[in-house]
Structure formats: C-alpha cells, structure tokens
Structure 1
C-alpha cells in the first residue's frame, strides 16, 4: 500500500524501535483476530445468517461474550496501532492526524463491543423475527460507536492518501482513497449486513497493511 519514503522518519534508538515494533504488531494482528473469531462464530452459532444479521449481532445471546471480547481485543489493537504510528511517523503530512483518527477507531471498537446491539430478526435462536420494536440505550450506543469508529478510519485513509500523493506514491494513494470511499458509502437497508462485513474487511485490511509497512520501515 505504501513505499518506504512515505513512512520516512528519524531513526529511533533500539529500545524505541522494539517498543514501536510491538505496538505495530498488535495493530497488524487486530484484523486477522477479529475475522478469525467472527468467521468461526458465524459457522457454528445456530441461526446466524450473514445476509440478514450483521457481525455485531454475534455479541447477543449466551455466547455473545465471545464477540464482545473480540471487539475489545481488536479495539485495543487499534489503539496500539495508533501509538505505533505516533512513534514511527515523526514528520510530514498526517503525522498528527493519523494516530488520532486510528486511535478513535480503536476506542470506537471497544465501545461498540461493550455496548452490544439488540437481538432481532430471529437471532439469537428463539428471538422473534423482524427488527426490534424499540432500540435499547446500549443498542443506540453501539450504532453510534461503530459509526464514529469507521468514519474516523475513513478520515485516516484520506489523510494517508494525501500523504502518499504529495510524495508521488500513486498506487498507495489510490488504494487508501478507495478504502476511504468504501467506508464512507451510505448504508443500504436492503444489504446492510453484507455492507457492514465488507466495510470491516476493508477497514482491517487497511490497518493491517499500514501496520506491517510501518513496522518494516521502523
């Protein structure tokens, strides 16, 4: 997604490099851990249908604690990535905005996990069909936290696209811009759960690639 000059920074001392490397590794693992957990749950939990139920709905029911934990762990990975970016990018466009936006993304994931959405549309098994009559306070909180998280990450992708463009790194600039565009597309009620899943794939792919490239440059 980017070349070494895009992430150029002052050479840190060895202990600083190790600390930054650990933070960036945690950020790189957030996405794979999130989707490994979600995929296993989607395949094993009775009644779950990705075409009808967003991934967040796995946080409901007796086994909901697994997805809640998954959200929190992934969010902590996002916060670690933000800290790693702050340590690694010491000059140029985005050195301040990128870690702030990625940090908001991480905190938003943690909040989204601790504020689970409501059971509806037949999941968990035994839940009545159709949407919930009235959203609970934590259901509203979940929606707000998720929206803030993914909007912040879209802004981070825009910032990185500008940084890359100014350094004439065209492919990473285009890819970051495309990621931002996907994350900012309006949600379609008819394909909501699929679109949420696609947004998650795009978001975590972007954070994973960014973390790995920064780790290599550090």
Structure 2
C-alpha cells in the first residue's frame, strides 16, 4: 500500500503545482499583452482609456482572449488553493473568492465595454451616449471580480494575523485597501490599471507561495 500511496501523493502534488503555476502566470500574461497593445494600438491613451477598452475595435479579440486566459488562470489558482490549503483560516473561502475573480475576468472579456473617447480611432471623442447591455455586464463583472479578490486578501490577512506573520498580514491588508478604494472619475483609467497591477501581483505571489509550500 505504501508503494502505491507515495506515487499517488506525488501525482497530486504535481497537478497542484501545475494549477498554481497557471495561476502565477495569469498576471504576467495579462499585463504583457495589455502593455504591448497600449504601445502599438493607434489612439489608445491610458490616461483616458481603461485597459478594458482594448477589447473594442478590429483588434479587440486580442484583449478579449487576454481576459479569458487570465480568468482561466484565476480558476486554476482557485483549484490549486483548494488542493494545497487544507487547514486553517481561509481554506474554504479563498478558493471560492479567487474562483469568482476568475469567472468575473472571463465575463469581462466576453462582454465588452463600449467604444468612446476617440478609441478605437474613428469613435467620437466623447462618452457613449448610453451604455449598452454588454457594457453594463462588463462593468458589473469587473466590479464583482475585484471585490471578491479584495475580500480574499482580507481573509488571507486574518490568516496571517492568527499565525503572527506580520509582514504578510500588512501586505495583504494593503492590497485589500487599494482594491476597495472608491473610483475617482478624473483618474479612473489609471486607477483601474493600478488595481489590476495590485490584483495580479497578489495572485502571482499567492500562487508562488503556495507552490513553494506544496
């Protein structure tokens, strides 16, 4: 029985490691794609256009695909957490919350926002006269996704506090605070980009931490 159990345990760890690796890569892939698009797509201005607006126009399929891949990475991370975090605070809540984040990203990719403020090129340089239904779904999906991740960061903060791990607790608390800050109408696109950077840095660090622990 022991000779069978050891290879089985190794297989489980290997699969868990792959899931966590996929979760760790979601953020770097998302931002590599977004940055390349921001630098190469005519008319895009990060001070006026949120990253989500890259999903509009003829080349919008690139950002749509990016959202979906990042969402799948989030789901992989959720399953990886479930497999590796088997005790203590957050063992049940964290996989669910990170899973909601992943599903929200996929929905945000499938349901795009409206062209506006001159992007894509040829769009009137003004806000959309009325938000389309898919733009409303996009905004709602993104809000739910980032709120779920902020709550996940709070749960992990509590876990680290109970284990007297001060620096991880402070780092997770700071991430949650940034993600929960209200949006500023004057700097919304920049704030969205910062929130995305914080969110994906958090998922990458969490995935690598769990992978190392596993």
TM-score by length of 1: 0.94
Match of 1:125 in 2: 121
In 2: Cα distance, 1:68 partner to 1:118 partner: 13
Matched, 1:56 2:52: yes
Match of 2:103 in 1: 107
Match of 1:35 in 2: 31
Match of 1:77 in 2: 73
In 2: Cα distance, 1:69 partner to 1:157 partner: 26
How far does residue 91 in structure 1 lie from its aligned partner after superposition?
A: 0.5
How far does residue 205 in structure 1 lie from its aligned partner after superposition?
A: 0.2
SS at structure 1 position matched to 2:172:
helix
Match of 1:140 in 2: 136
Match of 2:158 in 1: 162
How far does residue 184 in structure 1 lie from its aligned partner after superposition?
A: 0.2
How far does residue 146 in structure 1 lie from its aligned partner after superposition?
A: 0.1
How far does residue 133 in structure 1 lie from its aligned partner after superposition?
A: 0.4
4+ residue segments displaced more than 3 Å? none
What is the aligned-residue RMSD (CA, Å)?
0.6
How far does residue 36 in structure 1 lie from its aligned partner after superposition?
A: 0.2
In 2: Cα distance, 1:211 partner to 1:91 partner: 17
How far does residue 81 in structure 1 lie from its aligned partner after superposition?
A: 0.1
Matched, 1:194 2:190: yes
Match of 1:96 in 2: 92
Q: 1:70-106 CA distances to partner (integer Å, 9 max, x unpaired)?
A: 0000000000000000000000000000000000000
In 1: Cα distance, 2:129 partner to 2:162 partner: 50
Match of 2:5 in 1: none
Match of 1:4 in 2: none
Q: 1:125-183 CA distances to partner (integer Å, 9 max, x unpaired)?
A: 00001110000000000000000000000000000000000000000000000000000
Give 2:181's match in structure 1, choosing from 181, 185, 191: 185
- Kindly indicate whether structure 1 or structure 2 has the higher relative contact order, using CA contacts under 8 Å at least 6 residues apart: 1
SS at structure 2 position matched to 1:13:
helix
Give 1:174's match in structure 2, choosing from 170, 175, 181: 170
